[in-house]
């Protein structure tokens, strides 16, 4: 007799499904929520994040927009001023630069220039990151641009559970949020998780300790969290016990979790795939140097992308990006300092 699947069996969800569920649920909970972006309606988004959304909620709430990021963000600002909550998709986060003026000069500043009277409930989200052969126009991590713009919250989840809970938190926050989704994690089987059936949110500005350790602290976010975890496994074979912190939100930043870890390990490596110069890894190290210097027994280290566009050829792409091997080598040098 052949086995029959249990219809009530709990199935693990991937990263893209988690984000899609968050959007569906928030659209159901909030009749004033609008979604808009290029090809998000009939097509369901370039990566399928909004698949089925327009069929469920109609073309008046799930709007296919022209290829103009300035228009997508600018109209989102206008709708937020009219009382709507807006999810604005960038088909690739690389092209968010085309809507940069609307984000940093309009969306980010409204609360301040109205003395707190005007909320701006807009979440600008989209696929980001490298490692997939997308070359220079489809591999960027440009989050530091927006961390430098007061008024914006910046989010980058690494797990399906976090992707759903942080998306729901962002859509309910009332402040403008930039939501960086790691496209290489969208359908990666290794990161699939069971998600709660009940409604949940994850607090913005709270990091997660992914692995406890006593010898060195790794701080990261997005896909590089997994590189850090793999490096920690390799280091454990060599007798080095690494702690891995996933900050999850860059702005606001959970400094306390980072400082508490460094107080225990006395050593720090920050890993992210944006360029090194003026990147967010440097911001984390600056804050540690200013506020937790007395805990350090070695100079903190950044492992980032080289200051170059991401190449298309795979060996060159991997050469310029962070890797498990680079993290392990830096950690061994740091613990021997």
**Catalytic residue list:** 138
Q: What is the dihedral of CA 95, 99, 105, 107, to 10 degrees?
A: -100
Nearest to 178 by CA among 46, 263, 69: 69
Q: Are strands 249-251 and 153-155 parallel, antiparallel or unpaired?
A: antiparallel
Phi and psi angles of residue 27, each rounded to the nearest 5 degrees, phi first: -65, -35
- Return the bridge partners of 68, or none: none
CB atoms within 10 A of CB 33: 20
List the structure tokens of 176.
Answer: 């403008």
């Amino acid at each position: 007799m052949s086995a029959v699947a249990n219809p009530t069996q709990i199935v693990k969800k991937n990263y893209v499904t988690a984000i899609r569920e968050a959007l569906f649920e928030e659209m159901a909970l909030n009749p004033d929520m609008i979604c808009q972006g290029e090809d998000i309606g009939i097509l369901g988004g370039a990566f399928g994040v909004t698949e089925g959304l327009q069929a469920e909620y109609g073309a008046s709430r799930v709007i296919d927009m022209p290829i103009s990021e300035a228009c997508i963000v600018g109209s989102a600002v206008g709708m937020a001023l009219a009382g709507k909550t807006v999810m604005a998709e960038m088909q690739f986060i690389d092209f968010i630069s085309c809507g940069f003026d609307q984000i940093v000069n309009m969306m980010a500043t409204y609360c301040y220039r109205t003395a707190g009277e005007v909320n701006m409930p807009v979440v600008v989200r989209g696929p980001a990151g490298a490692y997939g052969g997308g070359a220079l126009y489809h591999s960027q991590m440009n989050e530091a641009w927006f961390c430098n713009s007061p008024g914006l919250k910046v989010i980058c989840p690494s797990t399906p559970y976090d992707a759903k809970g942080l998306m729901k938190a962002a859509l309910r926050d009332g402040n403008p949020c930039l939501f960086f989704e790691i496209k290489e994690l969208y359908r990666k089987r290794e990161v699939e998780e069971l998600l709660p059936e009940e409604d949940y949110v994850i607090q913005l500005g709270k990091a997660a300790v992914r692995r406890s350790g006593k010898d060195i602290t790794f701080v990261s976010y997005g896909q590089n969290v997994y590189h850090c975890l793999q490096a920690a496994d390799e280091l454990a074979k060599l007798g080095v016990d690494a702690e891995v912190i996933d900050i999850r939100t860059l702005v606001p930043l959970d400094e306390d979790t980072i400082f508490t870890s460094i107080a225990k390990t006395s050593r720090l490596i920050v890993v992210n795939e944006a360029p090194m110069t003026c990147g967010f890894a440097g911001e984390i190290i600056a804050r540690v140097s200013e506020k937790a210097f007395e805990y350090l027994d070695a100079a903190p280290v950044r492992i980032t992308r080289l200051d170059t566009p991401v190449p298309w050829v795979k060996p060159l792409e991997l050469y310029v990006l962070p890797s498990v091997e680079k993290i392990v080598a830096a950690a061994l040098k740091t613990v021997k300092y």
